[in-house]
């Protein structure tokens, strides 16, 4: 075969640079016959067909709008799957087309759950849709009474699934009814009481407070605003588990595992610590400014998807101001978020707002995560149901960056 002109070849570094990849990834493409390589004359090095490199570059550009996005796609990057549940756009949050902040004014979590699950002709939250735990499960729940609320959920959900006779009913009605039992059971476990058909915000309010109406309204709104937030880490985890065919109970358990991480729902604990620390100081503004000066991040502020401020936080803090505007804990929180906006250029997010609710209502430590998990259970169930309906398993490919095959 006649030798091809040198201009039709690229060196390894040139090929990798043109594709924006590492040398190891280039070698992986060669091993999969995506790029042809040939030995260079009088050398142990290889050269790579420029036409193959450029054809691959064109294909990668066609597959995604920004071929250089790379791993950023999985971190507040490009959309990776379709969903009809939640829209985050123009600084607003919608559940199936309904503004979440408007829903938070009067809707309860059960109503929002039915909306998220797409229940048009089915009312899942009937009086009968309540799990009746066996004596064995009740006994185990009693034994775990002193453990944290979230750990109780993780311990009891797998056993509760064994006692839910219709957990494998994958019809629309079956999934909605199982979802209702599951949401109510999570509420009961967090509250430390028997499952019931009572509104879950009332169940949680009784467990965390004296049951006064203003507290109930704030907890109801916090649950609704926590119900879903598109394809976050826990929702994606839930969809991966549901895609394998696992039950709703298993999918929600996976969501809880992801949510309790300190970068996700567990962030609320750091905000609780911040507010507790500030409650012992007179120089709140100076303390916040010192953290900014020390480049010590103040938890509970800013969100990549809301450059102009988290609408969930704005809605919930507005309700707190309306009901507890003269409360010392709220006034202190207000001082914190004012100096953060002025000096740090950041507005409070939902984690700060929920922690503020906790401070105003004198909720126990960890209550913020409990509120988040119970609210988000509605969204997790919705994502699992949506994934079941696709009939697909989520199995992305990795971009190999390791050593070249030998």
Distance of CA 137 to the CA centre of its chain: 29
Place of tokens 């939902």: 350
Distance of alpha carbon 354 from alpha carbon 367, whole angstroms: 9
CA distances from 148 to 168, 230, 274 (A): 29, 27, 21
Closest CA to 114 of 132, 95, 133: 95
Sheet containing 37-39: order of strands = 9-10, 46-49, 37-39
Distance of alpha carbon 93 from alpha carbon 312, whole angstroms: 8
Distance of alpha carbon 318 from alpha carbon 328, whole angstroms: 16
Q: Tokens for 82?
A: 């379709």
201 in active site: no
| Helix, strand or coil, per DSSP, at residue 339 | helix
351: number of Cβ within 10 Å = 28
CA distances from 216 to 106, 206, 208, 364 (A): 12, 8, 10, 15
Cβ atoms of 233 and 264 within 8 Å: the answer is yes
177: number of Cβ within 10 Å = 22
Closest CA to 377 of 81, 148, 112: 112
| Helix, strand or coil, per DSSP, at residue 95 | strand
Distance of alpha carbon 281 from alpha carbon 332, whole angstroms: 10
If you count them, how many residues does the chain have? 406
Distance of alpha carbon 244 from alpha carbon 197, whole angstroms: 31
Q: Tokens for 330?
A: 């709220």
314: number of Cβ within 10 Å = 18
264 in active site: no
Element (H, E) at 99: strand 98-99
262: number of Cβ within 10 Å = 11
Query: Dihedral of the CA atoms 183, 189, 191, 192 (nearest 10)?
Result: 150
Q: Which of 172, 201, 351, 383 is catalytic?
A: 351
Q: Which of 201, 229, 264, 303 is catalytic?
A: 303
Active site residues per annotation: 303, 351
């Amino acid at each position: 075969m006649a030798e091809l002109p040198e201009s039709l070849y690229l060196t390894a570094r040139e090929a990798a640079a043109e594709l924006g990849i590492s040398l190891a990834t280039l070698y992986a493409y060669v091993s999969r016959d995506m790029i042809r390589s040939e030995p260079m004359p009088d050398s142990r090095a290889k050269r790579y067909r420029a036409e193959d490199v450029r054809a691959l570059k064109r294909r990668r550009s066609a597959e995604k709008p920004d071929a250089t996005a790379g791993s950023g796609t999985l971190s507040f990057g490009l959309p990776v799957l379709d969903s009809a549940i939640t829209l985050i756009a123009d600084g607003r949050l919608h559940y199936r087309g309904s503004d979440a902040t408007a829903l938070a004014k009067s809707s309860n979590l059960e109503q929002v759950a039915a909306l998220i699950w797409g229940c048009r002709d089915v009312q899942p939250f009937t009086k009968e849709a309540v799990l009746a735990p066996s004596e064995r499960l009740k006994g185990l729940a009693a034994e775990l009474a002193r453990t944290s609320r979230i750990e109780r959920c993780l311990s009891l959900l797998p056993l509760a699934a064994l006692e839910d006779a219709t957990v494998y009913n994958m019809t629309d009605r079956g999934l909605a009814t199982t979802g209702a039992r599951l949401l109510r059971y999570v509420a009961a476990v967090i509250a430390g009481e028997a499952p019931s058909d009572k509104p879950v915000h009332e169940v949680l309010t009784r467990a965390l407070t004296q049951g006064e109406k203003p507290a109930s309204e704030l907890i109801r709104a916090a649950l609704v605003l926590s119900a879903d937030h598109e394809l976050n880490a826990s929702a994606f985890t839930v969809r991966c588990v549901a895609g394998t065919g696992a039950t709703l109970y298993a999918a929600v358990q996976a969501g809880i595992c992801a949510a309790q991480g300190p970068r996700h729902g567990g962030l609320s604990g750091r905000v609780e610590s911040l507010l507790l620390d500030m409650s012992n100081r007179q120089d709140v503004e100076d303390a916040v400014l010192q953290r900014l000066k020390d480049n010590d991040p103040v938890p509970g502020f800013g969100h990549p998807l809301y450059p102009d401020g988290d609408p969930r936080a704005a809605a919930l803090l507005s309700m707190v101001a309306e009901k507890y505007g003269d409360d010392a804990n709220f006034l202190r929180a207000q001082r914190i978020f004012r100096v953060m906006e002025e000096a740090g250029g950041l507005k409070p997010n939902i984690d700060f707002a929920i922690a503020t609710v906790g401070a105003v209502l004198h909720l126990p430590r960890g209550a913020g995560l409990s509120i988040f998990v119970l609210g988000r259970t509605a969204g997790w169930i919705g994502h699992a149901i949506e994934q079941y309906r696709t009939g697909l398993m989520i199995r992305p490919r990795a971009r190999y960056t390791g050593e070249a095959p030998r």
